[in-house]
């Protein structure tokens, strides 16, 4: 049912606009070891009451049960979305054997490789959800003694694979071809490059050092990968929700099975919070309500993710795919168009770098954007002064966004010796901060696998809740298929320009096909 046909939606919208967005007290939720501070997001009793009603109209509780018990919540592909099963100690019966057997196979493979001290290097070839999750987790947990040298290549630009292979001993390198479909051209092209590299280094049977992480066993076997080196994922797990599956194998190979197990445990703990906490005390739900309020009511077209931790650099692109590939939709299940703005563009950068890059815009652009801040209480290093600076910058920027700076405050700052009152008044106008700019602060006790797992699951459930409120399907991605198809069509024509069917492409594309094919 369209959102704006619901009285509860209009009550929610009115309550958001009426919320006094400065003078509210502390609003913190403790969930799976994380503290989610929503004190600098709009809130009111009326907003919460309307949200309750809205979620009831959306049969939210039933939707959550359908999600975790494996109903076809991905309704355009008639599939479940059982990423929660991948991290459950006891998955739902219909997938329990599959999940537990594959998890056991992964563990046995890792432990055997460790016992035999094999594969000093691992090259992970995947893209999108087959890359961001493991890449981000290994970067985030890099402080843990890494057992192996894990390299990633995602981009089809040959610089990516060349850099990934640089300096590696091909004899001691395991190659993971991570592709749920096993048809993604970037991953397959990179895999072929690695085969060539191994052959050029006198490796007679390169494919013996290849492992496939895929839902397409047949294609992996056709590619030449041995059946015992295929770890299965399933079509009921979305790519951007798949780090908990065999796609996460490089985490276990690089950091140890226990670290991967802790990642799963942290996510499961957040699952239990999501399914049991009341709406008011539910971190993913409350973050989703703020996300919907900021985007669909207050008109913020984007949201910035600013983790104040250099180890979380890849959290930004991971979240971009999770949020934008899940929520970048505009058609409801009944085929009607979504009638409110949805799915903010996600962007960002770790602090404090982001302060010297775009915080001017966040503070004094006419509109700005909400910000999610993430910080760890325990820095995992011994430089107390650095951590004090990091924390004070994170909290200082967040406070400035929320409290702003009035003209009177700016005038005091601008009244300087040698300046006339008129000059001070003029300068003061340029130093005002509107304030009331919303943010959420997520505090981790420390950046360990368990808390990272909880953080990722927090966002997965926030995205799911926003999709339920908007009435869209967060688990398909028809939009990327079209671009891929045109790209494949174009590639074939680039390979043989004389066969170019000019009618297929606009004049500019035709021009560049001619121009760029001449250069190689
Ligand atoms: O970006 C489109 C997409 O299908 C993602 O959803 C997916 O994570 C990525 O491409 C890679 O797909 P695959 O794992 O099938 O190679």
Q: What percentage of the chain reaches a pLDDT higher than 90?
A: 89
Return the SS3 of 438: coil
Q: Which of 340, 172, 328, 182 is nearest to 246 (CA)?
A: 182
pLDDT in tens, 105-139: 999 999 999 999 999 999 999 999 999 999 999 99
Q: How high is the pLDDT of residue 203? A: 98
Does residue 80 line the site of ligand 1, with CB under 6 A? no
- 399: tokens are 């406070």
Does residue 128 line the site of ligand 1, with CB under 6 A? yes
Return the SS3 of 30: strand
- 287: tokens are 């973050």
Instruction: Write the CA distances from 337 to 2, 3, 4, 59, 478, integer angstroms.
Output: 8, 10, 11, 20, 16
Does residue 133 line the site of ligand 1, with CB under 6 A? no
Contacts of 498 (CB under 8 A, 6+ apart): none
**d(CA 239, ligand 1 centre) in Å:** 6
Q: Which residues sit opposite 345 in a β-bridge? A: 302
Does residue 184 line the site of ligand 1, with CB under 6 A? yes
Q: How high is the pLDDT of residue 92? A: 96
Q: Are 139 and 132 in contact (CB under 8 A)?
A: no
> 496 in the Ramachandran plot: left (φ > 0), alpha (ψ -120 to 50) or beta?
beta
Instruction: Write the CA distances from 500 to 491, 493, 503, 517, integer angstroms.
Output: 10, 5, 9, 11
Q: Which residues sit opposite 122 in a β-bridge? A: 150, 174
CATH number of 83-262: 3.40.50.10490
Q: Which of 346, 210, 289, 237 is nearest to 38 (CA)?
A: 289
Q: Which of 47, 455, 391 is nearest to 262 (CA)?
A: 455
Whole-number Å distance between alpha carbons of 32 and 269: 5
Q: What is the rounded average pLDDT of the residues 295-315?
A: 98
| Residue 499: band (very low, low, confident or very high) from pLDDT cuts 50, 70, 90 | low
**d(CA 402, ligand 1 centre) in Å:** 38
- 261: tokens are 């197990």
Q: In a mutational test of the pocket of ligand 1, which residue from 81, 126, 130 has the highest number of ligand atoms less than 8 Å from its CB?
A: 130
Is 462 part of the annotated catalytic residue set?
no
- 186, 232, 325, 460: the catalytic one is 325
Q: Which residue's CA lies nearest to atom 10 of ligand 1? A: 128
pLDDT in tens, 203-262: 999 999 999 999 999 999 999 999 999 999 999 999 999 999 999 999 999 999 999 999
501 pLDDT more than 60: yes
Q: How high is the pLDDT of residue 395? A: 98
Q: Mean pLDDT over all residues of the chain?
A: 95
Point out the ligand 1 atom lying closest to the alpha carbon of residue 247: 14
| Residue 500: band (very low, low, confident or very high) from pLDDT cuts 50, 70, 90 | low
Q: How high is the pLDDT of residue 485? A: 83
Q: Which residues sit opposite 210 in a β-bridge? A: 175
Sign of CA dihedral 23, 24, 26, 29: negative
Q: How high is the pLDDT of residue 23? A: 67
Does residue 129 line the site of ligand 1, with CB under 6 A? yes
- 17, 30, 356, 502: the catalytic one is 356
Is 229 part of the annotated catalytic residue set?
no
Q: How high is the pLDDT of residue 520? A: 57
Q: In a mutational test of the pocket of ligand 1, which residue from 74, 76, 83, 128 has the highest number of ligand atoms less than 8 Å from its CB?
A: 128
Strand 121-125: give its sheet, edge to edge: 149-153, 121-125, 173-178, 210-214, 230-232
Q: What is the rounded average pLDDT of the residues 321-336?
A: 97
Q: How high is the pLDDT of residue 59? A: 97
> Fold match between 3-76+264-470 and 83-262?
yes
The domain spans of the chain are 3-76+264-470, 83-262, 478-517
Give the E-state strand segments of 268-365 in sequence order. 302-307, 345-348
Q: Are 163 and 190 in contact (CB under 8 A)?
A: no
Q: How high is the pLDDT of residue 464? A: 98
Q: Which residue's CA lies nearest to atom 2 of ligand 1? A: 480
470 pLDDT more than 70: yes
What is the radius of gyration, based on Cα positions, of the chain?
A: 25
Q: In a mutational test of the pocket of ligand 1, which residue from 127, 154, 487, 488 has the highest number of ligand atoms less than 8 Å from its CB?
A: 127
Q: What is the rounded average pLDDT of the residues 259-278?
A: 98
Whole-number Å distance between alpha carbons of 460 and 17: 27
**d(CA 279, ligand 1 centre) in Å:** 33
**d(CA 318, ligand 1 centre) in Å:** 13
Q: What percentage of the chain reaches a pLDDT higher than 70?
A: 98
Element (H, E) at 159: helix 158-165
The whole-angstrom distance between residue 242's C-alpha and the CA centroid of its chain comes to 11
37 pLDDT more than 80: yes
Continuous H helices in 58-116: 60-69, 83-86, 93-115
**d(CA 342, ligand 1 centre) in Å:** 23
Q: Which of 334, 346, 345 is nearest to 472 (CA)?
A: 334
Does residue 493 line the site of ligand 1, with CB under 6 A? no
Whole-number Å distance between alpha carbons of 267 and 455: 7
pLDDT in tens, 179-188: 999 999 999 9
Does residue 124 line the site of ligand 1, with CB under 6 A? no
- Our CA angle for 21, 462, 315, nearest 5°, is 100
418 or 265: which leads in pLDDT: 265
Give the E-state strand segments of 359-434 in sequence order. 371-378
Neighbours of 458 (CB within 10 A): 23
Q: Which of 2, 235, 229, 267 is nearest to 108 (CA)?
A: 229
424 or 485: which leads in pLDDT: 424
Is 491 part of the annotated catalytic residue set?
no
**d(CA 105, ligand 1 centre) in Å:** 24
Whole-number Å distance between alpha carbons of 194 and 164: 10
Q: Which residue's CA lies nearest to atom 16 of ligand 1? A: 179
Whole-number Å distance between alpha carbons of 145 and 47: 47
pLDDT in tens, 376-403: 999 999 999 999 999 999 999 999 999 9
Return the SS3 of 446: strand
Does residue 134 line the site of ligand 1, with CB under 6 A? no
Judge: domain 3-76+264-470, CATH 3.40.50.10490.
Answer: yes
Q: How high is the pLDDT of residue 170? A: 98
**d(CA 98, ligand 1 centre) in Å:** 22
Do β-strands 230-232 and 28-31 pair in parallel, antiparallel, or remain unpaired?
A: unpaired
Sign of CA dihedral 93, 133, 38, 475: negative
Poorest-confidence range of 100-109, 248-257, 494-503? 494-503
**d(CA 503, ligand 1 centre) in Å:** 29
Q: Are 259 and 266 in contact (CB under 8 A)?
A: no
Q: Which of 184, 132, 106, 165 is nearest to 316 (CA)?
A: 132
């Amino acid at each position: 049912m369209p959102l704006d046909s619901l009285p509860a939606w209009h009550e929610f919208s009115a309550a958001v606009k009426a919320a006094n967005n400065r003078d509210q007290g502390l609003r913190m939720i403790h969930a799976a070891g994380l503290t989610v501070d929503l004190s600098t997001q709009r809130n009111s009793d009326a907003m919460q009451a309307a949200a309750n009603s809205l979620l009831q109209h959306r049969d939210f509780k039933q939707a959550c049960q359908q999600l975790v018990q494996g109903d076809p919540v991905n309704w355009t592909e008639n599939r479940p979305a059982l990423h929660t099963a991948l991290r459950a100690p006891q998955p739902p019966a219909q997938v329990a054997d599959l999940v537990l057997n594959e998890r056991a196979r992964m563990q046995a493979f890792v432990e055997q490789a460790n016992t035999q001290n094999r594969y000093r290097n691992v090259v992970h070839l995947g893209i999108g959800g087959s890359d961001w999750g493991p890449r981000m987790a290994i970067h985030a947990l890099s402080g843990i003694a890494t057992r192996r040298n894990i390299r990633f290549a995602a981009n089809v630009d040959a610089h990516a694979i060349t850099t990934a292979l640089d300096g590696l001993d091909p004899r001691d390198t395991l190659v993971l071809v991570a592709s749920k479909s096993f048809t993604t051209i970037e991953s397959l092209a990179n895999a072929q490059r690695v085969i060539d590299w191994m052959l050029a280094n006198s490796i007679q049977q390169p494919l013996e050092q290849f492992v496939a992480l895929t839902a397409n066993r047949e294609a992996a076997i056709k590619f030449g990968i041995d059946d015992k080196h295929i770890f299965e994922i399933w079509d009921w797990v979305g790519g951007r929700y798949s780090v908990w599956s065999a796609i996460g194998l490089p985490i276990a190979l690089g950091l140890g099975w226990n670290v991967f197990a802790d990642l799963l445990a942290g996510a499961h703990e957040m699952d239990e919070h999501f399914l049991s906490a009341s709406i008011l005390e539910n971190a993913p739900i409350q973050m989703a309500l703020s996300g919907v309020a900021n985007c669909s009511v207050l008109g913020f077209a984007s949201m910035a993710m600013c983790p104040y931790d250099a180890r979380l650099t890849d959290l930004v692109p991971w979240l971009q795919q999770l949020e934008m590939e899940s929520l970048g939709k505009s058609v409801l299940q009944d085929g009607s168009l979504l009638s409110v703005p949805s799915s903010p563009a996600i962007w960002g950068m770790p602090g404090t770098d982001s302060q010297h890059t775009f915080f001017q815009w966040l503070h004094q652009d006419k509109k700005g954007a909400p910000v999610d801040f993430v910080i760890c209480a325990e820095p995992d290093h011994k430089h107390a002064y650095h951590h004090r600076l990091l924390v004070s910058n994170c909290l200082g920027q967040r406070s400035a966004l929320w409290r702003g700076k009035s003209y009177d405050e700016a005038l005091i700052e601008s009244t300087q010796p040698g300046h006339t009152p008129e000059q001070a008044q003029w300068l003061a106008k340029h130093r005002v901060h509107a304030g009331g700019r919303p943010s959420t602060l997520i505090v981790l006790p420390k950046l360990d696998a368990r808390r990272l797992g909880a953080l990722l699951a927090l966002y997965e459930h926030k995205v799911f809740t926003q999709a339920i409120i908007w009435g869209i399907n967060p688990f398909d991605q028809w939009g990327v298929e079209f671009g891929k198809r045109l790209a494949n069509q174009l590639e074939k024509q680039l390979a043989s320009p004389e066969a170019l069917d000019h009618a297929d492409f606009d004049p500019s594309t035709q021009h560049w096909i001619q121009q760029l094919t001449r250069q190689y």
